[in-house]
Every structure is written in structure tokens, then in C-alpha cells.
Structure 1
Amino acid sequence: MNYDKEPELTGRIVFPNDPQYNQARSEFNTFFNRFPLVIVFARETQDVTNAIRWARLRDVPIRVRSGRHNYEGLSVLDAGIVIDVSEMKQVDLDSESGIVTVQTGLRDFELAEVLGKEGLVVPPGLCPTTGIAGFTLGGGQSSLSRQWGLAIDSLVEVEMVDANGYVLYANDRQNCDLFWALRGGGGGNFGVCTSFRFRTHQIDTVAYARVDWEIQDLKSVLREWQQYTLPCADQRITPLLSIVSGQLPQLFMQGVFLGSENELRYLLQPLLMSSPPKEVTIEEMPWLEAAARIGATQPDTPESFKSVGPFIGQLLPDKAIDIISYFIREAPSSFTASVLFHGLGGAVAEIGNTETAYFYRKALSNMSPWATWDAPEGAAQGIRWVEDFRKAMHPYTWGVYVNTPDLLIENWPEEYYGCNFERLTHIKAKYDPMNVFHYPQSIPPEFCD
């Protein structure tokens, strides 16, 4: 690498001796405790370029960060540089075309609020504090997935700084192979994405539903809930189902429906009849209020946790539902155990498995067992519970969502990417042949058996 002058770090720079260091290095998953050499909070794209070139010149390993929500804490590392884009939050909406250009430091709900005021939306994640960068690059499953597809299905262009510090643009006409890879290949593999251009969708009042049952109704409720994820089901709703263990167990579904309250109430009748609900809320409200209600049921503060998100490709038989019930019922008390089922299909499945790097287009849903603990003794049992759960359900699942990485998965290339993995390695070799952007389970350049 030959640069005209030696690069210097720019932006907000945090070193280990700075008072802000401990806060700057922290992750949403507090189980991880890593100590980078320096953290660069970029304020503009040039700061990212400078950080990459500075690190390359000194052979310092790089990690890329937006919302800090990586399940395995992979957006921070010991003795390396963290390039953090979370302070890059500009938004530019072209009201005539409906295209919005956003910097990648925005959080999910921040983008939802900005667009919601204009009666527009890009399908956001469930958790309000997730960064849009990692969320989008892994695919972007949302509460509007069946209606409008994944976040990447609304993505029209990416601005990215590559391993040499050069700014590239990827879209359907320019660097189209990279654009394919960035739509589902996961964050931090090919470069640092600094802005996205999205096609927006019009949205205003929606119908929102939340239905609560007793935990012992799990089997009958889950059996019926699955029907709303089938190809023949009304795709105006993306159904969610949450199961929580503990002293105050919970079983509830939520969903946002693009239609009226009466239509939604009629649509949900089979589910309401599966077991007598404890409480039913079905009402029309502004989209942002519905999104906030779903967000309120997600983790909202940093915590120690373990989770993973396998896909479900067909209706679960009673034997599989019995496994789920067993793991919830028998979860040790040293941690809180939960499972989130996220309905897919609909518009997600209208795109082929190989048309973007996100492979599991035909999945009916995504299942995420989650263990969280306060006391240190809960860590080992919580991690084991999630892994045992994933393995017990393996005969009934199909791959794993790359945005829920699990370093204990051995055959991760196939689990995350299916038959798209080999093509991803070739694109990696083209845009990052020296494997500058690497971490455990990152895409390597080229593919070797």
C-alpha cells in the first residue's frame, strides 16, 4: 500500500486512557469484555477511510460496529481498532421518488421515527436499538417481512469503504456482484458500509394485535400460530410469538396488520379459538405506536445473553413442539429462558434463494431461543441450554440466520449461507483478497474444501 501521506486517525478517537473508554468498548451483550487498542467514532466517510488506512499501515486488526448488537460480541476485539459508525446519522429523503439515503449509524427506531413522520417506512427490526447496518446486511427480518419482504429487498444502493480505503458504490448496475453479497452476506465481511439508499413504502394507520395465553396452552397455540406463516396465509400480517419461562411465564402473539381492526379480528379467529386467551388487544393505531409496542417486548438494555436463530422450513410436528415445551418447562432457574418465533414467507419468499446472499427465502419462520442471566453462575447453564435446544431442534430446522451468530456451530458456512457460500468467497476474494475484514466465522477469500 502506497499512500500520498501517512494516514492519521480522524473523527472522535477513544484510547484506553480516555474516561469514555469503558463505555465506548461495551457491547449490548455484556457477557463479552474486550479491550481494543483504539475506537474510532466516524463522523463522515473520510474518517472511515483514514481509520482503515491507519490500521493497514500498522497491521492492526479491524472490527466494524454500528449498533453493538452482535450476539457474539464480534464488533469489538482485544488489541485492535474498532471503526464505529454510530455517530453518522444523516437522513436525506427524496419525497418525489420515495428514495431515502441514510447513514449507517442510525438505530432501527430512529429510522422508523424519521420516516414515520412522513407516512413512510423501510421494514425495521423488532428491537428499537439495533443498528441498521448489521441488521440490513444480514437480511433484515422485521414486523413487516411478509408484507414487504426483508430490509434488503428495499435496498437500492450501498456506499462502502473497501480494504484499501476507497469508496465504492454497489447497486444493480455498478459493482452488482458486491451488491448481491451485501444483501444477506452479513456485516463486516467486505468493507465498512457508510450509507444505504432504500425504497420506502407508504404506511399510516395499521391494526395491531396482542393476544396472551397461559403458558400451558403453548402446544395448541403454536400449532395454530404456524398456519399464519404458510404460503397460502394472508401476507398482510407478520405474526410473532413469544414464550418466556420463569416465575411469571408468558405466552403471547403480536402482529401488525395492513388492514382494518375488523379484518384482523376475523383473520385471528382460528388462533383465538385454539385456547381461551387471558387477554386480547386488537385495535387500529398509528404505525409508530404499533412498532413501539413490539419494541417494548424486546430487550432494551444491555444484558448477558446467549441466543441463536435457526429457520423452520415446514410445519413443526407435535414431537418438535413437545421438545420446545420441554426446554421451556425444564429450564434451570439460574437464567431466564425464552423463545421468539418470527413469521416469514409472504413477500420474503417471492425472491429466489440465490437472487441475494440471504439464502433461506422459503423458510416459514425463524426460531430464537434466548437465555439471559444476572449472576455469573447462570452463564454456563444458559449457554448450554441454548446449544442443547438448537441441537434437539436440528432435525426440524433449516439453517441459521446470520444475524444470530453462534460460534459453537461447526458447519457455519452451510448453516448461514446454504449454497450461496462459495459465491460469497469469490466476491470476498475480489473485494478483500488480503482478508483485512476478518473475524471468527467471517467469509474467507475463495473456497477450499
Structure 2
Amino acid sequence: MKFDYSGLTGEITTREDFNYEEDRKSWNRAIQKYPLVIVFCKNKKDIISAIGWAKKNSLEIRIRSGRHHYEGYSTGNDVVVIDISKMNEIIVDEEKNIVRIQGGVRNRELYEALGRREYPFPGGGCPTVGVSGLVLGGGWGYSSRLFGLAADSLTEAEMIDYEGKIIVATEDCNNDLFWALRGAGGGNFGVITSMTFKLPKKIKMATLIDIDCRNTKFHEIIKGFKKWQKLYKDLDRRINLKMGIYNSKEKGHGLRITGIFYGSREEADLILQSFKGISKNEIYDLNYTTVLEVNRIIQDSHPPYEKYKSSGRFVYDDYSEADMKNIINLVKDRAEGSTYTAVSLYGLGGAVKDRGKRDTAFYYRDAKFIMGFQSVWEDPKYALENVEFVKEKVKYIKEITKGSYINFPCAELEEYEKEYYGGNLEKLKEIKRKYDPQQIIKFPQSITVK
């Protein structure tokens, strides 16, 4: 079937265009989808015309900013992709103590704009993740225990709905939508054109934490796991960490702790003393530098793209030594063709827990950690083995966790709405009925209404 694209504005890429192969790619190169047309929007008019054109031609819409959706739901086969990555203006208003960004701004761009002015921001670790997508899912980051989730700094969101209408959501205006946009995930209600955040107090310096135990013995990883769990019992909220228990083709079995401490190297060293000497092959590095440089280093540690399968769930329980052994054994072996597999714990608590689970759409406020699991490969012929490997391991992880993190989605989830949104699901369905009754804005795991 041939389509007349003349009604679309912005930059249009179709299957006939030379740059289609590049423009259709996701950050997760395991995602291979073939949209009908990709509309690179430069303004709100382009978005409105794309929504209208898709409806006129009875085509599904996908919304894309950073191309980082783990399962590729920001794209699809034979769909209209509304790409807002070219809408990336950032306005810092120090008098009003706010920063306003367009919907296509990515982590690195915001860190650079704010870091040069000595403002921290509770964004994510990967540089090319779209800030709007991060925030819509709540938004975990290395600064979450001090500043809260990325969504907790949000004061206003502007959205274009299924009819092409512009809606502004704040605590005082369309507050039900504002509630939903802080944790219910991207692509459920409309296209975000801008977000406004409250700025935190300036902090110039921080300590980057990097502890890496390579080629480490099983009992040493157990020791590190126990210390990790104990550390979070009463942890200074100025610090947050991610611990990865990994099996790497390059580094063998190991344990790595990465994090940020908003304080001096000496203070960080006192907090982390128990992690010294876990392994003979340990790298223990505390780097006191500018907050901007800390975030640059973390972001630069991410590859430009990967092929992977992953999932993320919430940890509520303290784990026994037997539990820890089972968790570590998840990465005892790698799938065929895998270059890296890991089970990771992302720290929660602190300011994340200051708000209640009903205060925003992010339900799992009182969890201790997010537990992630992933497998990475290079040769596409090993994709199926790696996907099945992750699916099998997640069966056990589900037994020892509760709920699933919308920003670490998993296509195989049964009752995905209940898993992602917990006790906030029914309220979210009501909001979906109000703002998108025809379910024009949707994707394979979107909020559904009858």
C-alpha cells in the first residue's frame, strides 16, 4: 500500500530513503524493527501533524526520544515513529530556580548544561537516554538517594494528546495527569514536548566511586554481597551505588560497585572501608572531582550501543547467605555467544522513600533495591540463546522480588500492568480513559482500558 506523506511536516524518513537503515536503529541493536515512516519533529506543529496523519491513515504511533527502550517499544513494524530528538533546547533560569527542557533532551546534554553552572541533576547514567523517558518511568540515578527520583524534581510537563491538543500538567493544573507522568512510563498518554524541573542547590564537587574485583572467587563475592546489604541498613543519603555481580568474557567472574558521594574522598573512604581488600584483584578508586566530571566519567563508561536482553525488579527482603549464593549462581555461566552477563543491585532509599507510594505513579518507593539482570552478545546468531537464558534466570528472580521496574521492561511479563504499577494501576486506568479514551497512544505493554 502506498501512502501520501505530503501531510507530514518535519524531517521525514521512509523505507525508500538512503538513511532509513541508520534512522530506524535502536540503542539496543538486538531490536530490529521496520517502521513505515520516521518523523523527526522540530516543533509542536510537526508532532500534531504526525498524530493527525497517523490517525487519518489508521496507523499506530510510537514515541521516540533517546531510542533506549529495552524492548524496542519506541519503534515497531509498519508504525509511525514520532521522534522528538531534534527538540533539544535547554533553558536554565537561575532567578526562578528552574530548568526547562524540550522533550528530546538527553542525559548528557542536561548534565553538561547544568554541570557547567555547578548544579547537579538526578538523571540517569547512560548519556543518550532521553530525559523525558527517564522521568516518565520515575527515573533511577546515582543521585536518587539525595535528590529523589528524576520525576521528583519535575514541576511542569507539557504534552500533546491524541487529538493534537496541547496540555500543561502541574500540581495545580491537570494534576491527575501530572501525577501519572511521574512514574507511569513513556508512551501511555501523549507526546511530551517540554518538562520543567526545580533546581537543587549548587554542588561543585563530589566523589566518584569505582570498586572492581576482577577474576574473583565465589566466597569473596559472597563477602562483598553481605557487606553491601549491611551498608544499606543505615547509609548516608549523600551516597548511592550500583553493585554488579558479573561474568565477563574479558574480566571473568567479579563484583563491581559504582557510585557517587556528594562529599569528600576521605568521607567516602570511611563509609566504604569494609569493601577494601575483598579480593586480591581489587581496584579501589575514589576520585574527588567536579560533579560534571563525575557524570562525564560514568557516561563515558557506557558503550555507544549494545545487543542485550534484560529485566529489572524490586527487592524488599534481606537475603540470607543461601539466597546470595543462588543469586550469584545466576551468572555462574554465560549463554552461548554472550560476552557479559550480570545481576545488578541499584540502590534505593533516602529521598526516594521520602514520598509515599501513592504520591506519584511510581509505586515501589519503599523497596530497598532494583535488581537488574542482563546478558550481552555481539554476534546476532546468538540472540535466541541469550534471550532464553535471561527469561529462564528471571523466573527465579521473580520468586525473590516484587513488581517490575517500568524503565527496565520485560516483554515476557504476565500481568505486566499489575507488575509495573502495583496498587496505582486502577487510578492510572482512570487517567488513561480521561486523556486517551480511544487508546490512540499505545504500544505492546501500554496501559489498556475498556
Q: Give the TM interval when normalised to the shorter protein.
A: over 0.9
Aligned pairs (5 A) from 1:22-101:
22-101=21-100
CA contact (8 A) 1:307 1:369 kept: yes
Q: Give the AA of the match of 2:289.
A: M
CA contact (8 A) 1:108 1:124 kept: yes
Distance 1:275 1:352 in 2: 39
Distance 2:397 2:422 in 1: 18
CA contact (8 A) 1:310 1:390 kept: no
- Of 182-191 and 33-42, deviating more is 33-42
- Aligned match for 1:381, one of 357, 380, 385: 385
> Equivalent residue for 2:294?
290
Aligned pairs (5 A) from 1:34-433:
34-201=33-200, 202-214=202-214, 215-216=216-217, 217-230=220-233, 232-247=234-249, 248-249=251-252, 250-272=254-276, 278-298=282-302, 300-335=303-338, 336-433=340-437
- Of 168-177 and 303-312, deviating more is 303-312
Aligned residue for 2:373, secondary structure, equals strand
Question: 1:123, CA displacement in angstroms?
Answer: 0.8
Q: Give the AA of the match of 2:191.
A: V
RMSD, aligned α-carbons: 1.6
- Of 368-377 and 186-195, deviating more is 368-377
Distance 1:120 1:340 in 2: 28
> Equivalent residue for 1:13?
12
CA contact (8 A) 2:106 2:129 kept: yes
Question: 1:318, CA displacement in angstroms?
Answer: 1.6
Aligned residue for 2:240, secondary structure, equals coil
Q: 1:63 to 1:338 in 2, by over 3 A?
A: same
CA contact (8 A) 2:144 2:351 kept: yes
Residue by residue over 1:316-336, the C-alpha shift from the partner in whole angstroms, topping out at 9 and shown as x without a partner, is 222221122212112234212
Distance 2:334 2:373 in 1: 11
Question: 1:302, CA displacement in angstroms?
Answer: 2.2
Residue by residue over 1:177-199, the C-alpha shift from the partner in whole angstroms, topping out at 9 and shown as x without a partner, is 00001100100000000100001
Distance 1:31 1:283 in 2: 35
Q: Give the AA of the match of 1:204.
A: K
CA contact (8 A) 1:63 1:80 kept: yes
Distance 1:238 1:133 in 2: 22
CA contact (8 A) 2:210 2:257 kept: yes
CA contact (8 A) 1:122 1:199 kept: no
- Of 250-259 and 416-425, deviating more is 250-259
Distance 1:443 1:153 in 2: 22
Taking structure 2 as the reference length, the TM-score comes to 0.94
CA contact (8 A) 1:122 1:198 kept: no
CA contact (8 A) 2:247 2:333 kept: no
* Structure 1 unaligned residues grouped into runs of 5+: 1-5
Q: 1:376 to 1:418 in 2, by over 3 A?
A: same
Percent of aligned pairs with the same residue?
36
Aligned residue for 1:120, secondary structure, equals coil
CA contact (8 A) 1:227 1:233 kept: no
Aligned residue for 2:56, secondary structure, equals helix
- Of 172-181 and 254-263, deviating more is 254-263
Taking structure 1 as the reference length, the TM-score comes to 0.94
Aligned residue for 2:239, secondary structure, equals coil
Residue by residue over 1:140-162, the C-alpha shift from the partner in whole angstroms, topping out at 9 and shown as x without a partner, is 10010111110000000000000
Distance 1:51 1:229 in 2: 47
- Of 209-218 and 255-264, deviating more is 209-218
